[in-house]
Structures are given as C-alpha cells and as structure tokens.
Amino acid sequence: MTEGVGTILAKLAFVLVFVLNFGAVLTWVERKQSAVMQDRIGANRASIFGVRLLGLLHALADAVKMFTKESFTPDNAEKGLFKIAPAISVFFALVGFAVIPFGDKLLLGDTVINLQIAPLNVGVLYLFAVAGMAVYGVVLGAWASRNNYALLGGLRASAQMISYEVALGVSIFGCIMIYQTVDLQEIVRWQGHLLGGWLPAWGVLLQPVGFILFLTVGIAETKRIPFDAPEGESEIIGYFLEYSGMGFGMYFLTDFIETVMVSAITVTLFFGGWQVPYLMADGFHFPWGSTAALSNWAVTLLQFISFTLKVMFFLWLQMTIRWTLPRFRYDQIMRLGWKYLLPISLVNILLTGFIILLVK
C-alpha cells in the first residue's frame, strides 16, 4: 500500500519540528559550548520563576525578544523585497530537508512508510539546486536594504557562495561515482553493505578526501566563521545590517538551520545516514556469525537514533571549528576555494575513476 497524504504531512511535521528545535537548541549549544571551551560558564541567567535549566531558557528569551522588537524598514528600502528576503532565506534552508532520509522503511500495518519526506530519485541534484538558491535570500535582502555595507555583504556572499558551490558539486562526484546513484535513500542503503565482510562501507572510508573537501565547503556555505566574509561582524556587519526584530531573527535562524543541513548531508553521504553497523532490516548480523533479531519498530528506532547522534556529532564538530579557527580574509576565501579546493576535488574525481577501473 502506498502512503497517503496524511502520512506525508505527518513526516513533514515531524521533520520540521525536529529541525526547528535543533536550530533553536543550537543557539544554546553555541553559547554553552563556546563557554566551556574557553573555561567560562556561559549564559545562565534567563529564568522562569527561578528555574534556569542551564541557560536553555535563553533560546526562549531570544525568541521573545526577536518577536517583540520593532521590525524596522529603512525609508529607501525596496519594501516588498526587504520584507520577503529573510523568508526566502529560511525557506531554502528548510526545503533541503525534504530529501534527507532519517530511517529506512517503517511498517505500519500493511503500509510501508519510507522515512524520507520526498523520495526523489535525483536527491543530490535537488540539494544542489536548493543550496544554489540559498544565496538569493541573502543577496535580495542586501540589495533591498539600499545600504552600501549591506550591499557589500551581499556581493561577498554571492561571490563566496557561488565559488564554493562549484567545489561543493565537484567534491561529491567521487561519492556518486562509487554509489552509482543520486537518490539519497539509495545512497544510504548502499552504505549498509560490508567491505570484506566486516567493515561498514561508509562513504568516509571510500572517499576520505571528498569528505574533508565537502565538510570545508559545507561550512563555507553556512556563512559562519571561519568563512564569515558575508557577515564580517568586525568590518561591514554584512547583508542583514538593516534588519531588526524577526527579520534578523530569520537570518540568524537560517545560519543554524544550514548548520544542521550540512551535518545531515555529511552524515547521509559519508557516514552511512541512518545505518547502524551490522544492523539489517531484521536485526543485527554480526560478522562473527551471531545474530540478534529485532522487530521493525526497534530497527527503525535504532536507525533514527543513529542518524540523530551522527548529526549531533557533526553539529558539535562545526561548533568546535567555529569557535577555534580565526576568520579568513576575503581574498583568502577566494584563493582557498578556487586554487585549492576545486583542483583537489578534480584530482579526487580522477583518482576515484582510476581506482574504480582498477578494482573492476
């Protein structure tokens, strides 16, 4: 039996709530993780009736502040575009999650639910398209502000994101050559088989260079430090300079959602997505021969937990990188993108092709 509209809407709601909550909690993670890394305590004063919850309520306080602040529109701004640009930005950050598989097949009665909102057979291309559109929210917002500094931020954003788009695409060609598919669910299923009978065939083992390139480019796509030239808080404030209230809040949220997005794609392409090592559809099959049968529900739950934990690990890693590395200068970003990342990814494709030929 195929899925009804209700199932699809349920999956949609589930993923949206999941992602938006991750985005909100990331503001807390950012504050607290940076604090713990720097021997500080971090924001812990927001409280409701004396309950502080380790500063988790600061996310709530942020939301209240963003919604109640005046959303200022400059006199000279293009009113319509100015209002809609942050929404475009958030929209393209969110729609990418439609093709991320967060589990295999869930059996509900005689209905088979594919745990992926949109089972597109061109998933990777769709992701590229969405990532390419993400720059529009930024550039439109910057342009509509009619502010020279915002425009500078927008120009930097377009230059940076477009040049990294190229390396982004090229860096995962190697993966696609190995997986022989661009359907993300199929890519994850492919990573379920074992190399030599015992090693899970996760993308990172087959494409280590591709993984490092992709993670670098992905972090550049989130526009956060060390690739924060579009924002450049210390020099030009950036494309959201004229935004206040929830307009700024949406750009702020976009960065965090994109961070979750990059983690999710990295996990899907290189770390086996929802795969748990040795877990097949009917339970564990260990390489030393023993098996442990599990029901479909238990397997699905394990897969979802596995996916979430992997995403959380990459969120942690991205936060660590953001609070460790100093920011690149604009010309350094361009040089890194065009003169190092792109050639290395091209060489990576070439070597992958040779190795595939040799193995066959």
Partner 1 sequence: MNVHDKYGPLTFWEKCYLAPIMGGLWLTSEHFFRNLGRHILRAVGIKSRIMGAVTIQYPEFLRPLFPRLRTMHRLTQREDGTPRCVACMMCETICPAKCIYIIADEKLENSQIEKVPESFDIDLGLCIFCGYCVEACPEDAIRMDTGILELSNLSRNGMMLDMRTMLALQPNQDRYVKYDQNGDIVSSEYIKQPLD
Question: β-pairing, 105-108 with 283-285?
Answer: unpaired
Q: What is the DSSP string of 217-265?
A: HHHHHTT-TTS-TTT-TTTT--TTTT--HHHHHHHHHHHHHHHHHHHHH
Instruction: Work out whether 36 is an interface residue with partner 1 (CB under 8 A).
Output: yes
Q: What distance in Å separates the CA atoms of residue 87 and residue 248, rounded to the nearest whole number?
A: 10
Among 16, 17, 37, 162, binds partner 1 (CB under 8 A): 37
Hey, how many other C-beta atoms are within 10 angstroms of the C-beta on 77?
19
| Residues 6 or more apart in contact with residue 86 via CB below 8 angstroms | 137, 141, 240, 243, 246, 247, 248, 250, 251, 254
* Shortest separation between residue 348's beta carbon and partner 1, angstroms: 14
* Shortest separation between residue 223's beta carbon and partner 1, angstroms: 19
Q: Which is nearer to partner 1, 23 or 226 (CB)?
A: 226
Q: Which is nearer to partner 1, 268 or 318 (CB)?
A: 318
Q: What is the DSSP string of 152-190?
A: HHHHHHHHHHHHHHHHHHHHTHHHHHHH----HHHHHHH
Q: Which is nearer to partner 1, 38 or 290 (CB)?
A: 38
Instruction: Work out whether 149 is an interface residue with partner 1 (CB under 8 A).
Output: no
Q: Which is nearer to partner 1, 36 or 48 (CB)?
A: 36
* Shortest separation between residue 38's beta carbon and partner 1, angstroms: 7
* Shortest separation between residue 168's beta carbon and partner 1, angstroms: 18
Among 27, 33, 147, 345, binds partner 1 (CB under 8 A): 33
Q: What distance in Å separates the CA atoms of residue 195 and residue 110, rounded to the nearest whole number?
A: 33
Candidates 29-37, 93-101, 106-114, 181-189; binding stretch for partner 1 (CB under 8 A): 29-37
Q: What distance in Å separates the CA atoms of residue 27 and residue 106, rounded to the nearest whole number?
A: 32
What's the Rg (C-alpha) of the chain? 22
- Binding residues for partner 1, how many (CB under 8 A)? 14
* Shortest separation between residue 162's beta carbon and partner 1, angstroms: 23
Which DSSP state fits 209? H
What is the footprint of partner 1 within residues 315-354 (CB under 8 A)? 320-321, 323-325
Which DSSP state fits 214? H
Candidates 33-41, 62-70, 75-83, 266-274; binding stretch for partner 1 (CB under 8 A): 33-41
Conformational region of residue 53, where left means phi above 0, alpha means psi within -120 to 50, and beta covers everything else = left
What is the footprint of partner 1 within residues 164-223 (CB under 8 A)? 212
Instruction: Work out whether 2 is an interface residue with partner 1 (CB under 8 A).
Output: no
E strand or H helix at 87: helix 79-95
Among 14, 40, 148, 347, binds partner 1 (CB under 8 A): 40
Binding site for partner 1 (CB under 8 A): 33, 35-41, 212, 320-321, 323-325
